[in-house]
Amino acid sequence: MKLLLVGATGLVGREVLRLALADARVSTVVAPVRKALPPHAKLQAPLIDFDHLPPDAPWWQADAVICTLGTTMKVAGTRQVFSRVDHDYPLAVARLALAAGTRTYALNSAAGANAASRIFYNRVKGELERDLQALGFASLTHVRPGLIGGERDVARAGEGAALRLLRVLGPVLPHRWRINPAPRIASALLEAALAGAPGLHIVTSERLL
């Protein structure tokens, strides 16, 4: 199958790309990016500007989309920029892919996603989930990890200490509070995309251990 992956350079996106390129069920991975990726026989990596997505690009037509786009408030700088990256870009990709005939979408969301939340991060994630559901994909999966375990290119303030603490306390914590390894999240996203099961599906953090 042909897979469209957006967010291929992030922590979870890199793992999705690695798994997809090694999976015999995947014939092609299209990963639009802002910076070039290492070449691979199964990979197409067009350079794009997410503020000016090409509406007529042939690679929007795929069997499934996996979206792992996301940033932090520290990197974004403002709520407006954060919302654009974590909500507007994934939604724009979804609309273009759906218009081109793609019927399956798998999103890397967040454990606290809730459009009515008072917490800005959780609210943005919840608004994206809500708006994706309104589009009408035949198969839509929201994967909702908690704290993600793995090596990032840029360390996130406070996250390293939290990860170290959770690694120590992990065996005695409820499952929903434990670390979700990036490869496990990536596997859940890829399997959801490959399966394309009809309807809406939620993968909670307890299932990502």
Structure confidence at residue 154 as a pLDDT band (50, 70, 90)? low
Strands (E), the chain: 2-6, 28-30, 43-44, 64-67, 104-108, 139-143, 148-149, 180-181, 199-203
Q: What confidence tens digit (pLDDT) does each residue in 156-174 have? A: 454 555 545 445 445 544 5
Half-sphere exposure of 81 (CA within 13 A, CB side): 8
Which pTM was predicted?
Answer: 0.88
Task: Say what the pLDDT of residue 176 is.
Answer: 54
Task: Say what the pLDDT of residue 147 is.
Answer: 83
Cα(151)–Cα(172) distance, integer angstroms: 24
Cα(73)–Cα(95) distance, integer angstroms: 25
Examine the pLDDT at 128 and tell me if it is beyond 90: yes
